[in-house]
Amino acid sequence: MAIEFDLNTTLQPYLKEMIKKLPNGAKLVMKSLSNGDWNKEDLSLNSQVRRGELNFAVCWLEALGLARYISSGRQKLYTLTPLGRIAYQEFSIEFHELREERD
């Protein structure tokens, strides 16, 4: 099923569709980041996303421009971008709707 987007429209319909398609891990990470900035270990624990899946989940959010990391010494501190904060407020329902994922 192909989704067509009109590039002359606002960002809102595009983001809403993309957020609906996010894997559950990315949605859980987004919910955790909405509460504060985290290093990788704490983000994994707080979001309840296994460490092995965390990079995959964060990549989705970074690709959409919703999250980023800041280098702090040898650690990465993950945080929401300004767009990510607005998107979380606007689309909180979509972020809280987890999908049944197939193996």
Q: Which residues contact 23 (CB under 8 A, 6 or more apart)?
A: 56, 57, 60, 99, 101
The domain limits of the chain are: 22-96
CA distance linking residue 73 with residue 53, whole number of Å: 23
pLDDT tens by residue, 39-68: 999 999 999 999 889 999 999 999 999 999
pLDDT of residue 76: 87
| CATH number attached to the domain at 22-96 | 1.10.10.10
How does pLDDT run along the chain (103 residues), one tens digit per residue?
A: 455 556 567 888 889 999 999 999 999 999 999 999 999 999 999 999 998 899 999 999 999 999 999 997 888 899 999 999 999 999 999 999 988 766 5
**Starting from the edge strand earliest in sequence, which strands make up the sheet with 67-72, in order?**
38-39, 75-80, 67-72
pTM comes to 0.84
Measured CA distances, 36 to 9, 33, 65, 70 (Å): 31, 5, 17, 13
Give the integer Cα–Cα distance in Å for 90 and 64.
15
